[in-house]
């Protein structure tokens, strides 16, 4: 394996390790639950993304095949991470935050966990 | 060189898992614990892929994919339980 | 006839590509099996997909994905700096309500996902009629500029993709 490929793989691995660590460090350091929601998005995007890129390059150099598996894992995480973050935020707000601590929506209807949707659009 | 980078990355994710465990133990809200569990799942996915690169085999991608799917479903189930009080209506 | 055979062409194409990615080797047999799945699964589940999103300019999607990927990298570094080096009392977080011009549910979903995946902002919930979105920003001195940036950078592009 030539030095350039090794260097590239190592750089991706180190970057992803740092971002994975920073994600969990933010989870411990930040003082407020909603602020903590921001930390793991880094581990999801650059952390796992860096590991998967490194593994794509590694197996390409090693075997000569381009492997698409890694891209599927990345795609799956990119699709699901916003949904879980949104769900956790909603669960936290519904249990702990009264409506008047949030800014108003400036629309006819309030935020969805405090206000009922208009008729016939209950699944929105 | 790759071995050292792999060790460094695996060490980072190991420490990250410990920090997540600290957040699960401390809380204070149930939402914090769910968030920490979700982060743990993501770190475990990264560790599995790292281990696959270390051993030079592609078998661990299936495991990582399955962990990703099970982790997503379980996080959604936890949150739904908190929001609604039951999971399947 | 063709619309009954292939009710959702994009879904069929996605299924074929995902199948080829899962088996990870491109052979004729895998392609045929994937095409079979891509035809059968949309037919069986057509009842659960009553209205399909219409894409006005599909090629704008590529530009949008590239912009978002670049923003993810830049914002990752910025937020890592905030977490590592800024002391806790100096982090000023804000709730920012953003009024939406997008109407279709798919477009709003993509926008909410984009806001969450670019670190530094998390979309928390929608207004009950889908007319506004509540965004939490980790650290900013000027909430209005964050709102304007999201509207001009992401929502404008999405309005071109989803009419």
Question: Which residue would you say has higher pLDDT here, C51 or C109?
Answer: C109
pLDDT, tens digit, 9 for 90 and up, residues C4-51? 666 677 788 888 888 888 887 778 888 888 888 888 888 888 777 766
**C73 contact partners, CB below 8 Å, separation of at least 6:** A46
Mapping DSSP onto H, E and C, the string for chain A reads: CCHHHHHHHHHHHHHHHHHHHHHHHHHHHCCCHHHHCCHHHHHHHHHHHHHHHHHHHHHHHHHCCCCCHHHHHHHHHHHHHHHHHHHHHHHHHHHHCCHHHCCCCCCCCCECCCCCCCCCCCCC
| Cβ–Cβ contact B87 with A under 8 A | no
Integer Cα distance of C158 and C163 in angstroms: 8
- In this prediction, residue A119 has a pLDDT band, given cuts at 50, 70 and 90, of low
Q: What local confidence, expressed as pLDDT, does residue B70 receive?
A: 92
| Cβ–Cβ contact A35 with B under 8 A | no
Query: Is the pLDDT confidence value at A41 over 50?
Result: yes
Q: What is the mean pLDDT of residues B9-19?
A: 91
Please give the structure tokens belonging to residue B6. Answer: 């792999």
Q: What is the mean pLDDT of residues A32-43?
A: 80
- What subunits make at least 3 CB pairs under 8 angstroms with A? B, C
Q: A38 vs C122: CB contact, 8 Å cut-off?
A: yes
| Cβ–Cβ contact C73 with A under 8 A | yes
pLDDT, tens digit, 9 for 90 and up, residues B35-81? 899 999 999 998 998 898 888 887 888 888 899 899 999 998 888 88
Highest mean pLDDT, choosing among A110-119, B48-57, C56-65: B48-57
pTM value > 0.95: no
Q: What is the mean pLDDT of residues C76-102?
A: 81
Question: Closest approach of chain C CAs to the CA of A12, in angstroms?
Answer: 13
Residue-averaged pLDDT of chain A: 80
Question: Which residue would you say has higher pLDDT here, A110 or B42?
Answer: B42
Integer Cα distance of C129 and C122 in angstroms: 20
Query: Is the pLDDT confidence value at A123 over 60?
Result: no
């Amino acid at each position: 394996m030539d030095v350039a490929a090794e260097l590239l793989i190592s750089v991706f691995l180190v970057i992803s390790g740092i971002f994975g660590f920073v994600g969990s460090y933010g989870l411990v350091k930040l003082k407020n639950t909603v602020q903590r929601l921001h930390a793991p998005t880094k581990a999801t995007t650059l952390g796992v993304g860096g590991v998967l890129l490194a593994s794509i390059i590694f197996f390409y150099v090693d075997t000569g095949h381009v492997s698409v598996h890694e891209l599927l894992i990345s795609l799956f995480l990119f699709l699901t991470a916003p949904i879980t973050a949104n769900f956790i935020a909603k669960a936290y707000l519904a249990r702990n935050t009264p409506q008047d601590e949030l800014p108003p929506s400036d629309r006819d209807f309030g935020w969805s966990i405090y206000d009922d949707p208009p008729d016939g659009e209950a699944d929105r | 060189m790759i071995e050292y980078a792999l060790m460094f990355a695996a060490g980072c994710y190991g420490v990250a898992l410990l920090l997540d465990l600290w957040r699960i133990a401390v809380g204070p809200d149930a939402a914090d614990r769910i968030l920490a569990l979700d982060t743990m799942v993501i770190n475990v996915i990264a560790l599995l892929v790292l281990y696959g690169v270390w051993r030079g085999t592609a078998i661990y991608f299936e495991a990582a994919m399955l962990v990703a799917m099970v982790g997503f479903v379980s996080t959604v189930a936890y949150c739904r339980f908190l929001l609604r009080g039951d999971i399947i209506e | 006839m063709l619309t009954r055979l292939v009710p959702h062409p994009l879904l069929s194409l996605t299924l074929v590509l995902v199948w080829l990615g899962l088996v990870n080797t491109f052979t004729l047999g895998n392609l045929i099996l994937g095409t079979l799945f891509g035809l059968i699964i949309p037919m069986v589940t057509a009842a659960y997909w009553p209205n399909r999103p219409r894409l006005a300019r599909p090629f704008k999607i590529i530009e949008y994905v590239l912009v978002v990927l670049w923003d993810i990298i830049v914002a990752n570094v910025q937020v890592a700096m905030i977490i590592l080096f800024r002391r806790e009392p100096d982090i000023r977080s804000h709730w920012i309500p953003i009024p939406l011009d997008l109407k279709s549910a798919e477009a709003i979903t993509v926008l909410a996902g984009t806001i969450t995946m670019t670190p530094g902002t998390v979309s928390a919930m929608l207004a009950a009629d889908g007319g506004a979105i509540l965004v939490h920003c980790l650290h900013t001195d000027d909430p209005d500029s964050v709102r304007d940036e999201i509207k001009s950078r992401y929502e404008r592009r999405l309005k071109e993709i989803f009419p």
